[in-house]
Amino acid sequence: MNPQALLERLSELGVTIRLSGPGTIALSPVNRIPDELRPEVVAHKAELAVLVGRQARTWQADPSDLAWPATVGEDPRPDLENDSADWSRLLALASGDQGDPSGVYGRLLALRACGGQLAWNGSRWRMVPLIDPTEQVSVWHDGESWEADRARYLLPRAREIAALLAQLPPPDQGPQA
């Protein structure tokens, strides 16, 4: 089976494939992978990582191409552990327009899938890119590519995004009551 067909088959089975590092992947839930496909996954893991990376980049052309997580508020990049819980909270807050790929939820979901991160600057949250010159873990190979996407996708919704970020608690304080 070729890597593209394998990726499609795993998707049909409800298996999510995410980049977990440069050229590596994480699959879940693994119990949905039939025994006969496991050797194929191992044999094609590098090719699957490239395909998954390309899929993450498709939002640059059309955010509606992005695969949406099954659960609202689920972080599409739990492999980026340092801010995964914060992203889950932010996506849950933005879920009011989840059916609109070009709405705030769709843009935030795409940003995160492509390697966007949240950073606390001491008084507020801000969105920053994960710069990856190889484009294996993030779509932004430099600051210029980030700024172009930020201007195109985030700035038109800056006021709404800022209001959502303001609702997130500071790091290590958990959800607000």
Domain ranges of the chain: 3-56, 63-167
Q: Where does the pLDDT of residue 164 fall: very low under 50, low under 70, confident under 90, or very high at 90 and above?
A: very high
For 16-46, write each residue's pLDDT tens digit. 887 665 456 778 888 899 999 999 888 887 7
Q: Where does the pLDDT of residue 177 fall: very low under 50, low under 70, confident under 90, or very high at 90 and above?
A: very low
Q: What is the pTM of this model?
A: 0.61
User: Cis omega (within 30 of 0) on the bond before 29?
Assistant: yes
Question: Which residues, at least 6 apart from 132, have a Cβ–Cβ distance to it below 8 Å?
Answer: 22, 115, 138, 139, 140, 141
Contact status, residue 105 vs residue 111, Cβ threshold 8 Å: no
